[in-house]
């Protein structure tokens, strides 16, 4: 079999990470106040009432003077509020659904030496650093993420889902399909690889159909290989996220894949074809490349990062902004919000909103891309991404109105996920632990 078998994780490695994360959970529990002492420990079976003067519903609508009632993990009522007792008075804030990041690498860290250590670490220290990433991401207002490309996402996903550690709910691709031309494998071998990911518990399939933009972004899979991967994933009930640049963008679209990541150097016609086929696009305006540049000394010299690669990223940066601008203008194109968060970005995910707006995206459109549209792309539109009865109680509040001032996304002062309040601080508080500098 070809290169698709490379990078398979051993059972020991998965188990070791899980044990490490559980150790972290016990340490955290020993330091966390009891539920009666802190809003962060609100029992999930409790009835909670929130008062809000301005609510973004997640679909582009703005509701005024609302009472949001939560029972257990779900919203049971959103109704007019004219007074009366409430548990959380958020009337001076802008309330909206928790954000969704469609492209994250939550276990990607800097190591003890401060250098890029990637996302496949197996030590206890690696596990603690990854768990810290989940905490600052949640504190920044992101209640759901897709972490696409590392086997050690799995125990982290499961530990959060079981309530052992706090963090956003995670959907993961486990092992990605890495395009290596003919060495990737035959279409039948690729189909077998997709089935293997399904059996391992993957929520979706990540496919690298292009080289890194640092290496020119050339296509690395044939159309036949790409079609086999996306078709088999669909048969298995899984979505496909395709890392694609240049000609790989339209190839992924015509191959029946679900979502294109990045999309740099796609043509206007490529974007129109995506819109016609209903394929989602997840571009990045600037945060990812700016993060690499900001942390250049920590990345350069580590695998995949060279001086030539950094020069290529700096050259491509304005083209990413152009793509985001053009995508926003393309009628019917579904543009979701994803940051491609790597080491240095965790907890700063919301900076991508500011970058998108600076590139010409309407602020409310940017919000919806990380709310109902992001949920729809994940197949979770009936569960998350909007504030309405029956939806998960994923609710955040900002100090300010992002439609009037997009920098308000830096000031997340309230975070609830599935009916549990994890953050409730004063309006004047800027949480440095969420990666935002005063």
- Cα→Cα distances 80→51, 297, 391, Å: 9, 53, 18
User: With contact defined as beta carbons under 8 Å apart, do 175 and 197 qualify?
Assistant: yes
Task: List the chain domain ranges.
Answer: 3-10+99-377, 42-97+387-430
Compute mean pLDDT per 10 residues along the chain, 438 residues long, and list them.
40 41 40 32 73 98 98 97 95 98 97 95 93 95 94 94 96 94 96 96 96 87 97 98 96 98 96 98 97 97 94 95 97 98 96 98 98 98 98 97 97 96 86 53
pLDDT of residue 216: 83
Task: Supply 393's token pair.
Answer: 């109680």
Fold of 42-97+387-430: Urease, subunit C; domain 1 (2.30.40)
Give the pLDDT confidence score for residue 324 in this predicted structure: 98
Rg (CA), the chain: 21
pLDDT score, position 434: 57
Q: What is the pLDDT of residue 46?
A: 85
Would you say 373 and 385 are in contact if contact means Cβ atoms under 8 Å apart?
Answer: yes
State how beta strands 280-282 and 334-335 pair.
Answer: parallel
pLDDT of residue 309: 93
Measured between alpha carbons, how far is 136 from 22 in angstroms, rounded to an integer? Answer: 18
Helices of type H across 349-410: 351-358, 363-369, 372-377
Q: Residue 409's closest CA among 17, 56, 31?
A: 56
For 3-10+99-377, CATH gives 3.20.20.140
428: left (phi over 0), alpha (psi -120 to 50) or beta: alpha
Residue 220 near residue 212 (C-beta atoms within 8 A): no
Reported pTM:
0.90
399 and 413 in contact (C-beta within 8 Å)?
Answer: yes
Half-sphere exposure of 256 (CA within 13 A, CB side): 12
Residues in the chain: 438
Distance between CA 213 and CA 202 in Å, rounded? 26
Residue with tokens 């900001």: 294
Give the CA distances from residue 226 to residues 169, 297, 385, 398, in Å, rounded to whole numbers and listed in that order. 29, 36, 30, 42
């Amino acid at each position: 079999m070809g290169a698709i078998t490379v990078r398979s994780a051993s059972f020991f490695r998965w188990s070791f990470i899980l044990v490490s994360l559980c150790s972290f959970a016990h340490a955290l529990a020993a330091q966390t106040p009891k539920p009666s002492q802190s809003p962060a420990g609100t029992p999930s079976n409790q009835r909670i009432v929130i008062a809000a003067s301005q609510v973004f519903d997640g679909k582009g609508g703005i509701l005024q003077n609302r009472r949001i009632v939560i029972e257990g993990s779900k919203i049971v009522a959103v109704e007019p509020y004219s007074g009366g007792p409430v548990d959380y008075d958020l009337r001076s804030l802008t309330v909206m659904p928790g954000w969704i990041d469609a492209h994250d690498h939550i276990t990607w860290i800097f190591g003890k030496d401060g250098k890029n250590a990637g996302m496949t670490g197996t030590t206890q220290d690696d596990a603690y650093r990854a768990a810290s990433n989940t905490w600052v991401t949640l504190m920044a207002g992101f209640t759901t993420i897709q972490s696409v490309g590392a086997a050690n996402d799995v125990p982290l996903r499961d530990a959060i889902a079981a309530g052992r550690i706090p963090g956003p709910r995670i959907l993961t691709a486990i092992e990605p399909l890495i395009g290596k031309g003919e060495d990737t494998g035959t279409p039948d071998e690729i189909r077998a690889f997709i089935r293997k990911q399904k059996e391992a518990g993957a929520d979706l399939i990540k496919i690298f159909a292009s080289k890194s933009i640092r290496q020119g972004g050339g296509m690395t899979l044939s159309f036949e290989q790409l079609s086999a991967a996306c078709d088999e994933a669909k048969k298995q009930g899984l979505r496909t996220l395709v890392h694609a640049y240049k000609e790989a963008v339209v190839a992924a679209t015509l191959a029946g894949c679900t979502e294109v990541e990045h999309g740099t150097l796609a043509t206007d016609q490529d974007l129109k074809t995506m819109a016609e086929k209903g394929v989602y696009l997840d571009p990045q305006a600037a945060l990812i490349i700016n993060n690499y540049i900001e942390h250049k000394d920590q990345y350069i010299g580590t695998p995949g990062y060279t001086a030539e690669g950094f020069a290529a990223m700096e050259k491509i940066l304005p083209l990413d902004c152009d793509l985001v601008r053009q995508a926003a203008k393309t009628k019917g194109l579904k543009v979701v919000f994803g940051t491609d968060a790597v080491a240095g970005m965790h907890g700063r995910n919301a900076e991508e909103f500011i970058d998108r707006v600076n590139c010409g995206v309407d602020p409310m459109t940017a919000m919806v891309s990380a709310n109902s549209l992001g949920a729809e792309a994940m197949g979770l539109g009936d569960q998350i991404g909007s504030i309405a009865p029956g939806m998960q109680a994923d609710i955040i509040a900002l100090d300010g109105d992002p439609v009037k001032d997009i920098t308000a996304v830096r000031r997340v002062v309230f975070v609830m996920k599935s009916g549990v309040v994890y953050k409730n601080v004063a309006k004047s508080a800027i949480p440095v632990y969420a990666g935002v500098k005063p």
